[in-house]
Amino acid sequence: MQADGLREIPPTAGLPLRLRDLLPPWQSDFAQQAAKFLRVDAAGLECSGTACLIVILRALQELSGRRTVVVPAYTCPLVALAIAHCGLQLRLCDLALDSFELDPAALAAACDDDTLAVIPTHLAGRVADLSEVLTIAHRHNAFVIEDAAQCFGARRDNASVGLQGDAGFFSFAAGKGLSLYEGGLWIARTPEMRKAIARVSASVPASFAMEIYRCLQLAGYTAFYRPLPLRFVYGMPLRRALRRRDPVTAAGDDFSTPIPLHRVGAWRRAVGNRALRRLTDFQIALAAQASERLPSLTRLPGVKVFTDTPGVQGVWPLFLILMPTRAMRDAALDRLWGAGVGVTRMFIHALPDYAYLRSRISPADVYVPNAHDFAARAMTISNSLWLDDQRFARIVQILEETISR
């Protein structure tokens, strides 16, 4: 598929900011307004979703002498880096077959008397079933932290994700629905847990230099998160990385340490408040578009499309699919990834395959066949409102042609 002129569709459907979002009057009680949006009692704001995980883990460390944290073997590498940042021991758990959810048998084997927490992932707007995770974790008196970085606004049984376990967190990084250009929100199930996390959060320092940097980035995001400028700030670097055969950089998986920890300033909180007022209507529009387009994807032979289960209301920044084989996935991406139509990969590898994580992973955790298989067959399609029906139909046609060969 040829590159789409000068337009670039983002890989996820982020809420575009408006110029008036940046202007006074400014109301900076973003955490309280976000809690109202989620219909939860309270929430805490940090400088990133990763920072949220760090303050949660540090709070749990104060409550327990345990040191091991169990995570899916296919998840954001920043989860592993956050655990290392806290001086804790990472343990990987394989996925269930053809799923991003934890395999119950593997989880039971991974948990022991040193397990501090289990971190299941709600991925790509889809909500994981935590019933068995909670049972196994509680059997070992371990905490459950819900990684809902990509699921702000998702609900199960009319309750926000993040409250089935002991705590949960969301990300406001660029392109993830609502964005403060970095930023994250944490919630907790009990008042006691909220107080413990809030005590740690209160110790996070301010950084004038970092906040100025983030403010400039947020202003740039407001200006450039549009199909035409995205061609230059996102599309051109993407295609350079693909030409170098560097998929980790192309997918944005090349993370570094140390992880920034600082307070979010009043201006960015105020911008978030303005944008939050439009988020419900935006998510309704994304859900409606997803509903119209899902049948075209679910009809593809041998392709698994992740959708909502009964009682769940996910969010729809993108479509997550599993192709029948790795060869088919790669053939489709050869035609689509660099074409500017919002097709990409979620995370490039299972965690053991990132070179910068190998020293942090036990050799006993390397064998995670379902996670490797998921990474090898997964791809994503943007649900951006800028991706019109004609271009979406062409994506589906290319997937059909790839599968039929």
Residues ≥6 apart with Cβ < 8 Å to 135:
none
Q: Rounded to whole angstroms, how far apart are CA atoms 156 and 237?
A: 38
pTM: 0.96
Retrieve residue 294's tokens.
Answer: 């899902």
SS3 at position 23: coil
Determine the Cα–Cα distance for residues 361 and 368; give it in Å rounded to an integer. 12
pLDDT tens digits along 115-152? 999 999 999 999 999 999 999 999 999 999 999 999 99
> 311 with 157: CB under 8 angstroms?
yes
Read off the tokens for 10. Answer: 């983002």
Nearest-angstrom CA–CA distance, 348 and 354: 9
pLDDT tens for 250-272 read: 999 999 878 999 999 999 999 99
**72-86 CB burial, b ≥16 within 10 A, e <16:** bbbbbbbbbbbbbbb
Mark 355-364 as b/e (b = at least 16 C-beta within 10 Å). Answer: eebeebbeee
- pLDDT, tens digit (0-9, with 9 covering 90-100), for 63-94: 999 999 999 999 999 999 999 999 999 999 99
Residue-wise pLDDT for 19-63, tens only, equals: 999 999 888 899 999 999 999 999 999 999 999 999 999 999 999
